[in-house]
Amino acid sequence: MDYLINNAWFAIGLWILLYLSDYVLTIATARLYAGGADQHVHYEKGLELTPIHQRDVSRLRWVSPRFLLILALTSAALWLLWESLVATGYDPQMFAFVLGAWLLLEAAVHMRHLRNLFTFCYLKGSHGVEGQIRYKMWLSYRMSAVDMLSFTALYLFLFFLFDQQFILGGAVACCVAAVYHWILGARAKRAAAKEIADRDAGPTAQDG
């Protein structure tokens, strides 16, 4: 931990590795989904929940200019944070908090990727499963929010045990992600309800 929070290049390199593997696992999972797993589970607007990446993931693109731009910007932001902290008298705990927020959130996301990869491998070949379940977008967001809240609770428990700002950063980041996905789920649910209401009201308006 000391080496991680006191070595900017190592920290940034670890971030780049995790962020890249996040995208690779996303595309690998999406390919399994499109390659047969979707016969048993259907997500209303695809697997990707982050709006900015949905188009590239739906197209199964291994190389995404948008993703690479975000990776470059976030890596630069980490470096600028490091430089600003060094210039003002380095506070390792502040850097540890920010680094924990980014890395431990990615750790939580990776756990979900690995679970989906394992599940979709079986779904693709119809091993141990029958029928199909269909998820509305708002429910997908709420399920993700519950996942993130679970990791928030885990990281808070570990923080109280070890009193590490790195772990606290992860707890805060997962909590923010949970709230964000819950809000997106609420918006998606309202949009779905409005769409149904407009569709139902359509014939009535024409008849009048």
Please answer whether residues 31 and 23 qualify as being in contact, where contact means their C-beta atoms are separated by less than 8 angstroms.
no
Query: Which amino acid does the sequence have at 198?
Result: D
pLDDT score, position 199: 82
pLDDT score, position 204: 53
Residue spans of beta strands (DSSP E) within 61-141? 133-135
133-135 and 41-43 strand pairing: parallel
Q: What share of the chain is helix, strand, coil (3-state, %, to 5)?
A: 80, 5, 15
Of 63, 72, 75, nearest to 24 by C-alpha is: 63
pLDDT above 60 (res 205): no
Tokens for 120, please give them.
């979709």
pLDDT score, position 208: 45
Task: Report pLDDT digits (tens) over 17-60.
Answer: 999 999 999 999 999 999 999 999 999 988 999 888 899 999 99
Task: Report pLDDT digits (tens) over 51-98.
Answer: 888 999 999 999 999 999 999 999 999 999 999 988 887 778 889 999
Between 157 and 52, the more confident residue is 157
Please answer whether residues 76 and 169 qualify as being in contact, where contact means their C-beta atoms are separated by less than 8 angstroms.
no
Average pLDDT of 125-150?
95
pLDDT score, position 89: 78
Task: Report pLDDT digits (tens) over 160-182.
Answer: 999 999 999 999 999 999 999 99
Please answer whether residues 152 and 104 qualify as being in contact, where contact means their C-beta atoms are separated by less than 8 angstroms.
no
pLDDT score, position 197: 83
